[in-house]
Amino acid sequence: MSLIEEIDYGTPRSKSETMVTLTIDGKEVTVPEGTSIMRAAMDAGHQIPKLCATDMVDAFGSCRLCVVEIEGRTGTPASCTTPVMNGLVVHTQSERLKKLRKGVMELYISDHPLDCLTCGANGDCELQDMAGAVGLRDVRYGYEGENHVFAKSHGEINAAWMPKDESNPYFTYDPSKCIVCSRCVRACEEVQGTFALTISGRGFDSRVSPGMSESFLGSECVSCGACVQACPTATLTEKSVIEIGQPEHSVVTTCAYCGVGCTFKAEMRGEEVVRMVPYKDGKANRGHSCVKGRFAWGYTNHKERILNPMIRERIEDPWREVSWDEAFSFAAAKMRGIQKKYGRDAIGGITSSRCTNEETYLVQKLIRAGFGNNNVDTCARVCHSPTGYGLSQTFGTSAGTQDFDSVENTDVAMIIGANPASAHPVFASRLKKRLRQGAKLIVLDPRRTEMVDSPHVKALHLPLMPGTNVAVVTALAHVIVTEGLVNETFVRERCDWSEFEEWAAFVAQPKHSPEATAILTGVDPNDLREAARIYATGGNGAIYYGLGVTEHSQGSTTVIAIANLAMATGNIGRPGVGVNPLRGQNNVQGSCDMGSFPHELPGYRHISGDAVRDQFEALWNVKLNPEPGLRIPNMFDAAIEGTFMGIYVQGEDILQSDPNTKHVVAALSAMECVIVHDLFLNETANYAHVFLPGSSFLEKDGTFTNAERRIQRVRKVMSPKNGMADWEVTIALAKAMGLEMNYSHPSEIMDEIAALTPTFAGVSYAKLDELGSVQWPCNEKAPEGTPVMHIGGFVRGKGKFIVTEYVATDERTGPRFPLLLTTGRILSQYNVGAQTRRTENVVWHAEDRLEIHPHDAELRGVRGGDWVRLQSRAGETTLRAEITDRVSPGVVYTTFHHPDTQANVITTDYSDWATNCPEYKVTAVQISPSNGPSDWQKSYDEQARHSRRIAPAEAAE
Amino acid sequence: MSSPDRLVYMANQIGTFFRSQGHDKAVPGIADHIKKFWDPRMKRAIFAHLDAGGAGLEPNVLEALTSLKQP
């Protein structure tokens, strides 16, 4: 194993299909039109010296190191900014060029420290490489002149010198090492789209400046790491590299945070991670990253990680560390005991969208084949289950329709109930790039998100009231139908025409018009009409949506309404269009594919189907139960009722992430055996009897499937710190319960999945190693996977229009609870925060805050930073207020990353009609000033501290 | 959960979605949905409630459950 070196071609790839042939250093090269001479030379294997060019950003032509000679042209043009032309004859090396380049390097080095041996970039410095490449042996100018290098020169303070900026927790900015190539500035603009960096001053005074000469942490910088990656010197360097040194080998793997599924190189020394670097061949991220995947992996060796199995009889007892064997037999005896006492259906389990496909598959297998029931569910229940229902009803399959590359062909993007800039940042960067090229953006969100308000992006924002999605999307359809904007050819060809006619007549009713619905939605009818026209007629229209769509009483209805909209306008079945659910966690798509839902086996096949069950029964050698099992909210209800008494929870914190915390506490307290399998003593573990330590994504092999259905390898880069990878833990638990599972490597689990699941038939580790990734479905019809779905026809045959009547949620505002609370995420934190709160990311977000409009705040006497009491019909909590007009009057907003805030104490039991996905996004609340934590918070904290005690180990005899 | 109130509420929610499709589509739609997604103990509980008169169930839902209960 060695360090994976990616070729830097110097300038981006040209997408042109016209080819151009030229001669470089006597070699004939054929490249796409628009390619730079620099890139063409690299294609031919000749590396032209360069400093300011890198293939992640457009050419800039400032360093003048890449000069070449072209026969018949005067001067020495920069090869990075000069495009190829047919018949050019280029020379990349000559006496004149050598002299010029040496001169350039002399000037650079005369203002650069010569501390190479102790420099953080030693071994990975392009400036050093170029000094070597041009044969620099002497600097005639000396080092005594004006410079940025020394704090003092000639005994005087050197005003041009600037100290290191170490404000960012993950990287340093050392201005004395900067050569002002502006690669960082351009990466921030072109790749990330934040525009946090600029070059201040001119000439010798030019400096890289975050914001208006602020610190990195104090500026708009979002710490994505693109600038650090782009920097050719030690100016911007990961602190981990400064501390540890250069990595010696690297392994390509997949990020375990959000549903974008970025590919990274884990750069290692032995079993220690030095840094995570986004991989340019990663098809989801194309070499980009965000602060979480790039930097926030420190949780994997956080001191609070639990590495030994633990058990206890009662949750009031302290934990007792035991051997793996004792933990498994304790757990198995408890679970079997419950089944004996309460019946076979009295236990179940929850698979994790954070774990691998293989691990998820094993957990559902353990439940169906080992527990003998179908009480298996996954955290997708509480996020995207309505997507599964809605899209399978209309299109025939529950998956998003596009790959992320599709956005490069999008002309109109409509974002509904999602904030990719915070929750799917790398996708947001790719979208913003397209928007800066001229694509239009429509945002439907109660809040003015970062997507509405970002540099060089002007969105048409429809700030709807929480809970009115169906009314707004149906009003969009009303405009499209009544203004004659339907793509009739598409609908006649691809969809059921009579169902369409029924639907069209329904949406055309005057009561669905933007004017008629404005009173409840709060959306300006003119804006809504404009949005409908743009989406229907603006070229390739793509819808991206998130949990602001699904987590409602009418979540499934909104998904159906979105699908209707895409079908009516013909925005399905080609690059640039589609209906794209943005999945919250890394493996939401995969955990659904793997049969985590109680009603269906892997591959979305209903458990009642005899043929499908026969197939699984034959291979697993058991009889399967044909009835659907309990969904998560049903499990809680059944626990309180006394018919569901034991649960195995892998990698999910149901207590913190599920709604109405008090209800969840009551359910967990009622159970006789709660098995938590996790990295940390999470909130759920406070009510657990068995704790099985988990392994991080760095410690195991497997696959994740991202939001674009891309199946990618997760590769083990270190031994599991707890001694066992998660899939091995499930196998051992199954064995203790009498179910033999024989796998020696996750690849064998994938082989079984492929054998049993038609849409996975073509997937194997060998193929993933060969192709890097494939997109589901992957079988004999699509051996290399399916980037875009429903080309030429829908999976179900004809696309199905379904009418979507708006029904107000039963969660209503009134005199006691006059405000609507909605929830969301922030860039630096991830979900319940179990991982990110245990990293330096807390510098950006140390607590959840309540966003409230100045008008509502003033009415209640609340000032910025004040503690406020947030109260709903379900419960109350306290947190600090942030006054902002990002939210409309009447709407308040908070994040849910911190257990001490417990935003879910507030959320209610209401759920989606079709899937029981909880209605997180609408809760009627009241706000009042407060002095500090509520009684609930205090008693919760007390219980948590009590429950987390671990008994001291007994002294050895 | 088997507090029938909650199940009645859930069943009526399903009924509300299908209502706009008209009675003839709604009844089989509701029946199919409950058949596909409800665990046996939930079905047993709602059927017991149905046998006890089915108080609170919307007409379409009542009809759907009645049809579903017959084997």
> Are B39 and A628 an interchain contact pair (Cβ–Cβ within 8 Å)?
yes
The token duo for A74 is 């005067």
pLDDT at A903 over 90: no
- Secondary structure class of A173 (helix, strand, coil): strand
- B68 to chain A, closest Cα gap in Å: 14
Residue type, A204: F
List, in order, residues 6 or more apart from A161 with CB less than 8 Å away.
A147, A148, A149, A150, A151, A175, A176
Q: A195 and A270 share a domain?
A: yes
Query: Residue A98: how many CB atoms within 10 A of its CB?
Result: 13
Which residues of chain B lie closer than 8 angstroms to A374, CB-CB?
A: 39
Q: What is d(CA A240, CA A953) in angstroms, rounded to the nearest whole number?
A: 34
Q: What is the per-residue pLDDT across A600-631, written as a single tens digit (0 to 9) for each?
A: 999 999 999 999 999 999 999 999 999 999 99
The token duo for A843 is 């510098």
Q: Which of A860, A855, A849 is CA-nearest to residue A929?
A: A860
Best probe of the B interface among A367, A553, A607, A637, by most B CBs < 10 A, is A637
Q: What is d(CA A710, CA A778) in angstroms, rounded to the nearest whole number?
A: 10
Dmax (CA) for chain A in angstroms is 92
Residue A392 at interface with chain B, using a CB cutoff of 8 Å: no
Q: A626 and A657 share a domain?
A: yes
Q: A644 and A712 share a domain?
A: yes
List, in order, residues 6 or more apart from A945 with CB less than 8 Å away.
none
Q: A189 and A90 share a domain?
A: no
Is A785:A703 a contact under the CB 8 Å cutoff?
no
- Report the DSSP beta bridge partners of residue A676: A649, A691
Mean pLDDT lowest among A242-251, A719-728, A947-956:
A947-956
Residue A352 in any domain: the answer is yes
Residue A794 in any domain: the answer is no
C-alpha pair distances (Å), A464 with each of A422, A461, A475, A854: 20, 9, 12, 18
Please give the pLDDT value at position A957. Answer: 52
* CATH number of the domain where residue A653 is located: 3.40.50.740
Give the structural domain span for A178.
Answer: 152-301
Which residues of chain B lie closer than 8 angstroms to A634, CB-CB?
A: 1, 39, 42
Q: A446 and A546 share a domain?
A: yes
Q: A95 and A212 share a domain?
A: no
Please give the pLDDT value at position A260. Answer: 96
Q: A396 and A537 share a domain?
A: yes
Is A558:A524 a contact under the CB 8 Å cutoff?
no
DSSP state of A401: S
Q: What is d(CA A5, CA A17) in angstroms, rounded to the nearest whole number?
A: 28
Q: A421 and A342 share a domain?
A: no
Helix (H) and strand (E) counts in chain A: 29, 37
> Are B20 and A631 an interchain contact pair (Cβ–Cβ within 8 Å)?
no
Q: What is d(CA B6, CA A845) in angstroms, rounded to the nearest whole number?
A: 38
Which residues of chain A lie closer than 8 angstroms to B17, CB-CB?
A: 554, 556-557, 805, 807, 913-914
> Are A557 and B17 an interchain contact pair (Cβ–Cβ within 8 Å)?
yes
Q: What is the per-residue pLDDT across A683-726, written as a single tens digit (0 to 9) for each?
A: 999 999 999 999 999 999 999 999 999 999 999 999 999 999 99
Which residues of chain A lie closer than 8 angstroms to B34, CB-CB?
A: none
Whose tokens are 């990274």? That residue is A264
What is the rounded end-to-end Cα distance, in angstroms, of chain A?
45
- A187 to chain B, closest Cα gap in Å: 48
Interior angle at CA B30, CA B28 and CA B33, nearest 5: 105
Residue A345 at interface with chain B, using a CB cutoff of 8 Å: yes
* CATH number of the domain where residue A510 is located: 3.40.228.10
- Residue A666 banded pLDDT, cuts 50, 70, 90: very high
Q: Which of A533, A556, A581 is the last residue of a domain?
A: A581
Please give the pLDDT value at position A353. Answer: 93
Residue from the list A345, A636, A913 with its beta carbon closest to the beta carbon of B13? A913
Q: A171 and A122 share a domain?
A: no
Phi and psi angles of residue A363, each rounded to the nearest 5 degrees, phi first: -65, -45
- A236 to chain B, closest Cα gap in Å: 54
Q: What is the per-residue pLDDT across A794-845, written as a single tens digit (0 to 9) for each?
A: 999 999 999 999 999 999 999 999 999 999 999 999 988 899 999 999 999 9
Which residues of chain B lie closer than 8 angstroms to A916, CB-CB?
A: 10
Chains A & B: contacts with CB separation below 8 Å: 65
Please give the pLDDT value at position A899. Answer: 85
- Residue A955 banded pLDDT, cuts 50, 70, 90: low
Categorise residue A276: left if φ over 0, alpha if ψ from -120 to 50, beta otherwise. Answer: beta
pLDDT at A153 over 60: yes
Average pLDDT value for residue range A788-792: 95
Residue from the list A553, A628, A805 with its beta carbon closest to the beta carbon of B38? A628
The token duo for A31 is 């490249």
Please give the pLDDT value at position B1. Answer: 43
The token duo for A947 is 């429950």
- A669 to chain B, closest Cα gap in Å: 16
Interior angle at CA A645, CA A641 and CA A651, nearest 5: 120
Residue A377 at interface with chain B, using a CB cutoff of 8 Å: no
Mean pLDDT lowest among A650-664, A752-766, B28-42:
A650-664
Q: What is d(CA A887, CA A811) in angstroms, rounded to the nearest whole number?
A: 19
pLDDT at A895 over 70: yes
Residue from the list A598, A608, A805 with its beta carbon closest to the beta carbon of B39? A598
List, in order, residues 6 or more apart from A847 with CB less than 8 Å away.
A879, A880, A898, A900, A901
Residue A14 in any domain: the answer is no
Q: What is d(CA A819, CA A813) in angstroms, rounded to the nearest whole number?
A: 6
Dmax (CA) for chain B in angstroms is 29
Q: A591 and A559 share a domain?
A: no
Q: A549 and A604 share a domain?
A: no
pLDDT at B2 over 60: no
Residue A551 in any domain: the answer is yes
List, in order, residues 6 or more apart from A212 with CB less than 8 Å away.
none
Taken in order A754, A755, A759, A763, the sign of the CA dihedral is positive
The token duo for A354 is 């954070």
Residue from the list A628, A641, A807 with its beta carbon closest to the beta carbon of B1? A641
Average pLDDT value for residue range A175-185: 97
Please give the pLDDT value at position A956. Answer: 54
Q: Which of A932, A906, A931, A899 is CA-nearest to residue A920?
A: A906
Which residues of chain A lie closer than 8 angstroms to B42, CB-CB?
A: 630, 634
Q: What is the per-residue pLDDT across A501-558, written as a single tens digit (0 to 9) for each?
A: 999 999 999 999 999 999 999 999 999 999 999 999 999 999 999 999 999 999 999 9
Whose tokens are 């998660």? That residue is A726
List, in order, residues 6 or more apart from A326 with CB less than 8 Å away.
A309, A311
- A624 to chain B, closest Cα gap in Å: 15
> Are B41 and A637 an interchain contact pair (Cβ–Cβ within 8 Å)?
no
Is A812:A924 a contact under the CB 8 Å cutoff?
yes
Residue A474 at interface with chain B, using a CB cutoff of 8 Å: no
* CATH number of the domain where residue A106 is located: 3.10.20.740
Residue A643 at interface with chain B, using a CB cutoff of 8 Å: yes
Is A678:A302 a contact under the CB 8 Å cutoff?
no
Is A597:A344 a contact under the CB 8 Å cutoff?
no
Residue A142 in any domain: the answer is no
> Are A643 and B42 an interchain contact pair (Cβ–Cβ within 8 Å)?
no
- Residue A144 banded pLDDT, cuts 50, 70, 90: confident
Is A813:A927 a contact under the CB 8 Å cutoff?
no
Convert chain B into a string of H (helix), E (strand) and C (coil).
Answer: CCCHHHHHHHHHHHHHHHHCCCHHHHHHHHHHHHHHHCCHHHHHHHHHHHHCCCCCCCHHHHHHHHHHHCC
The token duo for A193 is 């789209």
Residues 543-602 of A with CB under 8 A from B: 553-554, 556-557, 598-599
Residue A897 at interface with chain B, using a CB cutoff of 8 Å: no
> Are A345 and B41 an interchain contact pair (Cβ–Cβ within 8 Å)?
yes
The token duo for A746 is 């996750």
DSSP state of A837: G
> Are A638 and B41 an interchain contact pair (Cβ–Cβ within 8 Å)?
yes
Is A897:A836 a contact under the CB 8 Å cutoff?
yes
Which residues of chain A lie closer than 8 angstroms to B37, CB-CB?
A: 599, 628, 631, 914-915
DSSP codes, A22-81: EEETTEEEEEETT-BHHHHHHHTT-----SS--TTS-----S--SB-EETT--S--BTTT
Q: Which of A581, A613, A634 is the last residue of a domain?
A: A581
Which residues of chain A lie closer than 8 angstroms to B60, CB-CB?
A: none
Number of domains in chain A: 5
Best probe of the B interface among A375, A385, A803, by most B CBs < 10 A, is A803
Q: Kindly tell me the burial class for residue A755, based on how many C-beta atoms sit within 10 Å of its own C-beta (0-12, 13-18, 19 or more).
A: exposed
Q: What is the per-residue pLDDT across A308-364, written as a single tens digit (0 to 9) for each?
A: 999 999 999 999 999 999 999 999 999 999 999 999 999 999 999 999 999 999 999
Residue A690 in any domain: the answer is yes
Q: What is d(CA A220, CA A185) in angstroms, rounded to the nearest whole number?
A: 13
Q: Which of A915, A885, A295, A94 is CA-nearest to residue A559?
A: A915
Q: Which residue of B has its CA nearest to A636?
A: B1
Which residues of chain B lie closer than 8 angstroms to A627, CB-CB?
A: 39-40
Residue from the list B1, B16, B21 with its beta carbon closest to the beta carbon of A634? B1
Is A487:A817 a contact under the CB 8 Å cutoff?
no
Average pLDDT value for residue range A467-477: 97
List, in order, residues 6 or more apart from A460 with CB less than 8 Å away.
A440, A441, A442, A443, A527, A530, A531, A534
Q: A285 and A166 share a domain?
A: yes
pLDDT at A33 over 60: yes
Rounded to two decimals, the ipTM of the complex is 0.95
Q: Which of A775, A803, A827 is the last residue of a domain?
A: A775
* CATH number of the domain where residue A251 is located: 3.30.70.20
- Residue B71 banded pLDDT, cuts 50, 70, 90: low
Phi and psi angles of residue A24, each rounded to the nearest 5 degrees, phi first: -120, 120
Residue A455 in any domain: the answer is yes
| C-alpha count within 13 angstroms, C-beta hemisphere, residue A142 | 3
Residue A802 in any domain: the answer is no
Show which residues on chain B lie within 8 Å of chain A, measured between beta carbons.
Answer: 1-3, 6, 10, 13-14, 16-17, 19-21, 33, 36-42
**pTM of structure:** 0.95
List, in order, residues 6 or more apart from A593 with CB less than 8 Å away.
A357, A602, A603, A604, A705, A757, A759, A760, A776
C-alpha pair distances (Å), A400 with each of A263, A733, A789: 20, 34, 8
Please give the pLDDT value at position A306. Answer: 97
Please give the pLDDT value at position A819. Answer: 96
- Pairing relation of β-strands A876-883 and A867-872? antiparallel
Residue from the list B6, B17, B39 with its beta carbon closest to the beta carbon of A629? B39
Q: What is d(CA A315, CA A370) in angstroms, rounded to the nearest whole number?
A: 26
